[in-house]
Amino acid sequence: MEDALNRGDESDRLFVRWSLADPAVVAAASGTPRRVPVHAPLAEALRPGLDDAPLVLLEDEVPPGMFSCTVPDDIQLLRASRPEVARAWRLAVRQVLGGALAAGGRLLGLDADGDYIVET
């Protein structure tokens, strides 16, 4: 990427398609994220590890069903204070979420803790 904020970094962005009339999309656009009810413990694909670095737990396989993906609460603060860890997060998110979506997974929304919930 070449803009001033991201210069020289790689992207972890996702392309999404939203039905703008869907009530969940209208709520999200108004600042209310879709909360996915989770009734059982899920497999974790990504979460903070030692020293807040990303810990990829499902490197080579996408589990059937649903799994969670935790990301830092404040990536901008992390980028300012520890850019090498922020870059590792960017690559880990791209690997985990990008890989799951490329394999046909669907991002359902967020759970009560703010973790991404993915269905495969």
pLDDT value of position 40: 84
CB 47 within 8 A of CB 73: no
For residue 105, is it within any domain?
A: yes
pLDDT value of position 53: 95
Element (H, E) at 66: strand 66-69
pLDDT value of position 25: 86
Q: How far apart are CA 113 and CA 35, in angstroms?
A: 9
For residue 8, is it within any domain?
A: no
User: Which stretches of the chain score pLDDT less than 70?
Assistant: 1, 3-16, 59-63
Q: How far apart are CA 64 and CA 43, in angstroms?
A: 10
Q: Residues with Cβ < 8 Å from 70, sequence gap 6 or more? A: 44, 46, 47, 48, 113, 115, 116
**Domain limits for position 35:** 23-119
Which token pair is 6? 């991201």
For residue 95, is it within any domain?
A: yes
Q: How many domains does the chain have?
A: 1
pLDDT value of position 46: 94
Task: Flag whether the pTM goes above 0.85.
Answer: no
> Please, is 48 exposed, middle or buried when counting C-beta atoms within 10 Å of its C-beta (0-12, 13-18, 19+)?
middle
For residue 59, is it within any domain?
A: yes
Q: Which residues is 106 bridged to in the sheet?
A: 119
For residue 114, is it within any domain?
A: yes
CB 97 within 8 A of CB 54: no
pLDDT value of position 14: 63
pLDDT value of position 109: 86
